[in-house]
Structure 1
Amino acid sequence: MTAQTSLTPQTLESLPTKPLDPAINRQMIAILDFGSQYSELIARRIRETNVYSEVLSYRTSAEQLRNLSPKGIILSGGPNSVYDEGAPQCDPQIWHLGIPILGVCYGMQLMVQQLGGKVERAKRGEYGKASLYIDDPTDLLTNVEDGSTMWMSHGDSCTMLPEGFEILAHTENTPRAAIAHHEKKLFGVQFHPEVVHSVGGIALIRNFVYHICECEPTWTTEVFVEESIREIRAKVGDKRVLLALSGGVDSSTLAFLLHRAIGDRLTCMFIDQGFMRKGEPERLMQIFNEQFHIPVEYVNARDRFLAQLQGITDPEEKRRRIGHEFIKVFEEESQRLGPFDYLAQGTLYPDVIESADSNVDPKTGERIAVKIKSHHNVGGLPKNLRFKLIEPLRKLFKDEVRNVARAIGLPEEIVRRHPFPGPGLAIRIIGEVTAERLNILRDADYIVRDEISKHDMYHDFWQAFAVLLPIRSVGVMGDKRTYAHPVVLRLITSEDGMTADWARVPYDLLETISNRIVNEVKGVNRVVYDITSKPPGTIEWE
């Protein structure tokens, strides 16, 4: 099976020191995180080799690691110098566990320092691409081509290696760019093999996982589905589960997985707040109720949500009010449909890493739902809703969820659906949200999606949508003056949503979309194209 975020000090402290599933220890690579923006990416790269990996706190002790019995350990990079006051340190006993270890950037420097070598501020830092020259093409660097480009990001360098270490590779500015103690299976690289800019980085990772750690490719979609169904049945038993369905790939995959595991003991609730795209609520109900016979309780709350936004123009206040109303509706409907023992949430592995919001029931030790999944960006549920959580997807990254979705039979239109914000069209209308503006935007947005689909380009974009501006501009239509809204087109490409670039769309496609919107959507007389990347902009306008 097969993000990337910069972790805050608070998040680092909250990282788990034991894996999510002890049963996977026999084929696990443990990643000790030191605050690198690439830690999640390391985990993803390992999983792309069909070997399970998890990000753990750098505070994980040698004893804890010994009990976990991972096949290998990776020390991530990080923003600190090993000589900074309070710089994160790993338990020095990990070097004596007999488990293969790979230190990346800061992780390599920490290895060198703790084992008796020397790390000093480099006369010249090394950032960006650098050519890697191989001195020892065995073990870690097998099949890594001499002169390969690697991604560097460091201000310190190792000036003296610990006893028993050898140089594997160098760059023009870094004499010790890759090192090894072959007998103890301790390795270090000053570059980041996990990033896409590092040519040969995946080969290096595969060498570590397969050759050095002797892992087998047992982390597959099929294995995950089988284990999840077995775990769900064992945990839920004859109890009932409630799932707030949003229509996105995460909650839809979870619904299919739970239904396969427990059948009618699952209740799906879809709250229609009136801010979804044209035809989506109807299509969602058709897919679940009619096509796959998974019952969904439909709750029409459009008028309630629209009333909450009357006169509101501040984006954060919009989100707050939508979230608050969602909680109220959810609470009312869950009491009507209940009682339920479990609340299912589409929590993903990045959520586990980034969030310290989970509470634990002191009596049972189980997590308690005090926060609804950010499908809806709604903040916390009332604490008196004492559901126990069931989160079958919390081991997975987004791309792995899509693999599971395909494996259990979700329609491709859900699997590859463009990301959609929880507040929906409400934050793609700049300013006050009204029924009239929703209708305008819904029609314009439909044309965007319709045309990119007709041009067989839907999957070329990370997202493609329209934004409605609250201003009006002068136009001429049919020899008459018009005074109507402009619509902004936002078509972007991205790998993970963390960064994004505006799409270089063929002019004839832009022309077709513009002509259709102006001619078919009443209230619009101008179409503009947003050519701002992220950063400095964001994907959404609010």
Structure 2
Amino acid sequence: FDPTKTRVLLVDHQDSFVHTLGNYLRQTGAEVITARSGEPAMQILDLVAEEASGKPKDDPEAETWIPDLVVLSPGPGNLSDFGLTDTITKLMELKIPCFGVCLGLQGMVEHFGGELGILSYPMHGKPSTVTLTGTPPKGIFTGLPTKFEVARYHSLHGLPETFPDDILVTARTDDGVVMGIEHKTLPFAAVQFHPESILTNPNYGLAILENAIKYLDAKDYDK
């Protein structure tokens, strides 16, 4: 392992975009390990928990790979198929920052008490203009224009009227669909669109991932 690089665990929810997302994350200079959701990803997090507990290792010389950020990938199907709330609970226990994409945002919404709705017309491979709520843009959107075009691949979406006070809406489409969220106090943020898609400006997509690594890693759990 390279101690000079940020370590990112990319949790794969069986999505066709996951390798592209992983390549984008590597372009930021991060060291990326991809693990399928469920047991493969939880095994890595269980090793982190063992390290934190001070439990003696079978091999005292072995280094535990501890991620600085966990990215929850997009994915097909239902959230319950992938155990997102178990993953998020584990990350909170271990105090590891988290960034979600598409399904990852939906998982955060449900985990923190919000609800999801179904779009009247599915947006699969469709471009949309998003507007950022921050002036100037901050957090994962630092340095980006207030409006830009993104790629959408989803039929479920977060219902902002059901969000708890701790979940802030950071981006919306012109017709009000939530495209970005951030937890008020925890280092958790997500986007509904795909920053790694060819339909999203590649400079902006990469900037969002760079910001997620820098901003969420620096956002303290205890503040």
Fold shared per TM-score above 0.5: yes
* Distance in 2 separating the partners of 1:65 and 1:192: 29
Three-state SS of the structure 1 residue aligned to 2:116 is strand
Deviation at 1:81, TM superposition (A): 2.7
- Give the structure 2 partner of residue 87 of structure 1: 81
Of 115, 119, 130 in structure 2, the residue corresponding to residue 118 of structure 1 is 115
- Give the structure 1 partner of residue 95 of structure 2: 98
* Distance in 2 separating the partners of 1:51 and 1:151: 24
Of 77, 80, 104 in structure 1, the residue corresponding to residue 74 of structure 2 is 77
Three-state SS of the structure 2 residue aligned to 1:213 is helix
Instruction: Name the one with the larger strand percent.
Output: 2
Q: 1:153/1:46 Cα in 2 relative to 1: closer, same or farther (>3 Å)?
A: same
Once the two structures are superposed, what CA deviation does each residue of 1:138-168 show, in whole Å capped at 9, x if it has no partner? 1111112122110001000111324401010
Letter in 1 for 2:207: A
Confirm or deny: 8 A CA contact 1:129 1:152 kept in the other structure: yes
- Give the structure 2 partner of residue 53 of structure 1: 32
Q: 1:172/1:34 Cα in 2 relative to 1: closer, same or farther (>3 Å)?
A: same
Q: Is 2:214 aligned against 1:210?
A: yes
Confirm or deny: 8 A CA contact 2:69 2:96 kept in the other structure: yes
Q: 1:182/1:196 Cα in 2 relative to 1: closer, same or farther (>3 Å)?
A: farther
Q: Is 2:13 aligned against 1:44?
A: no
TM alignment of 1:315-464, pairs within 5 A: none
Three-state SS of the structure 2 residue aligned to 1:177 is strand
Letter in 2 for 1:93: T
Confirm or deny: 8 A CA contact 1:132 1:170 kept in the other structure: yes
Letter in 1 for 2:149: T
Once the two structures are superposed, what CA deviation does each residue of 1:246-275 show, in whole Å capped at 9, x if it has no partner? xxxxxxxxxxxxxxxxxxxxxxxxxxxxxx
TM alignment of 1:426-505, pairs within 5 A: none
Of 132, 135, 159 in structure 2, the residue corresponding to residue 134 of structure 1 is 132
TM alignment of 1:150-165, pairs within 5 A: 150-159=150-159, 160-165=162-167
Following superposition, which runs of at least 4 residues in structure 1 exceed 6 angstroms of deviation?
Answer: none
- Give the structure 2 partner of residue 179 of structure 1: 181
- Give the structure 1 partner of residue 197 of structure 2: 195
Unaligned runs of 5+ in 2: 52-64, 219-223
* Identical-residue share of aligned pairs (%): 20
- Give the structure 2 partner of residue 387 of structure 1: none
Larger radius of gyration: 1
The count of residues paired between Structure 1 and Structure 2 equals 190
RMSD in angstroms over aligned alpha carbons? Answer: 2.1
Deviation at 1:26, TM superposition (A): 6.5
- Give the structure 2 partner of residue 508 of structure 1: none
Of 5, 10, 14 in structure 2, the residue corresponding to residue 35 of structure 1 is 14
Q: 1:24/1:194 Cα in 2 relative to 1: closer, same or farther (>3 Å)?
A: farther
Unaligned runs of 5+ in 1: 1-20, 215-542
Confirm or deny: 8 A CA contact 1:102 1:186 kept in the other structure: yes
Three-state SS of the structure 2 residue aligned to 1:112 is helix
Once the two structures are superposed, what CA deviation does each residue of 1:204-250 show, in whole Å capped at 9, x if it has no partner? 11111233325xxxxxxxxxxxxxxxxxxxxxxxxxxxxxxxxxxxx
Confirm or deny: 8 A CA contact 2:72 2:98 kept in the other structure: yes
- Give the structure 2 partner of residue 293 of structure 1: none
* Distance in 2 separating the partners of 1:146 and 1:73: 26
Q: 1:65/1:36 Cα in 2 relative to 1: closer, same or farther (>3 Å)?
A: farther
Letter in 2 for 1:94: K
Letter in 2 for 1:203: A
